[in-house]
Amino acid sequence: MLSALLVMAALAIVLGAILGFAAIKFHTEGNPMVDKIDAVLPQTQCGQCGFPGCKPYATAIASGEAPINKCPPGGEEGIQKLAELLGVDPIPFGGDTQPKPKSVAIIDENTCIGCTLCIQACPVDAIVGAAKQMHTIVASECTGCELCIAPCPVDCITMQIIEEKITNWKWKYPVYALNAVASAGATP
């Protein structure tokens, strides 16, 4: 019994020492730029930028593969923060990426058949429910990414715009319209 304990302890100590040494020897800094960009992104993990989440989009921006105007949940404010961080000119939203008002998904609980498809689609696990049981959305977790709408077979999910109330009102950041600036910059 004692020898078994000693053997396992010795193994653990030796392996721990090797791994500890390797951790110092092969230490890698995560790309600090990616982390900074990731901190600016809204973390909705919605995939509207065409990347599977905020971190991959941040990686793509850092490596110069993606423009900074692909994040609708971040809004123009997000673009300006990114532009400031990266030291580039802010560019307005273009094409099919347009900012949307902040909203939350609502499940019509009378229509829901409990198919769990929306649960699998939700990137932030904001939907609770089980097979053949009614599902519901944890509004505080919902990022309004709309990924749950497409998979729903009975179309019982709707987006509800969050209205500004006294409880959720915040001071606005001073945002100037990017479109105006961009066109004004183009004229001279």
Partner 1 sequence: MTEYLLILISAVFVNNIVMVKILGLCPFMGVSKKLETAIGMGAATTFVLTLASGSSYLINHYLLGPELSYLTTLSFIVVIAGIVQFTEMVIQKTSPVLYQVLGIYLPLITTNCAVLGIPLLNVQAKHNFMESLFFGMGGALGFTLVLVLFAGMRERMEGADVPVIFKGSAIAMVTAGLMSLSFMGFSGLIK
* CB of 63 or CB of 98, closer to partner 1: 63
Listed ranges 20-28, 38-46, 105-113, 175-183: which one lies at the site for partner 1 (CB under 8 A)? 20-28
Residue 13 sits in the site that holds partner 1 (CB under 8 A): no
The helix (run of H) or strand (run of E) holding residue 137 is strand 136-137
Which one-letter amino acid corresponds to residue 85? L
Q: What whole-number distance in Å separates Cα of residue 164 and Cα of residue 36? A: 29
Residue 28 sits in the site that holds partner 1 (CB under 8 A): yes
Q: What whole-number distance in Å separates Cα of residue 46 and Cα of residue 53? A: 6
Contact criterion met (CB below 8 Å) for 141 and 119: no
Count of chain residues binding partner 1 (CB under 8 A): 15
* CB of 28 or CB of 168, closer to partner 1: 28
Residue 12 sits in the site that holds partner 1 (CB under 8 A): yes
Contacting residue, 13, 15, 131, 175, with partner 1 by CB under 8 A: 15
As measured in angstroms, the least distance from the Cβ of 123 to partner 1 is: 17
CA 55 to chain CA centroid, Å, is 8
Segments in 26-74 forming alpha helices (H): 32-40, 54-62
Q: What whole-number distance in Å separates Cα of residue 53 and Cα of residue 124? A: 11
Residue 9 sits in the site that holds partner 1 (CB under 8 A): no
* CB of 12 or CB of 177, closer to partner 1: 12
Residues that bind partner 1 (CB under 8 A): 3-4, 7-8, 10-12, 15, 18-19, 22-23, 26-28
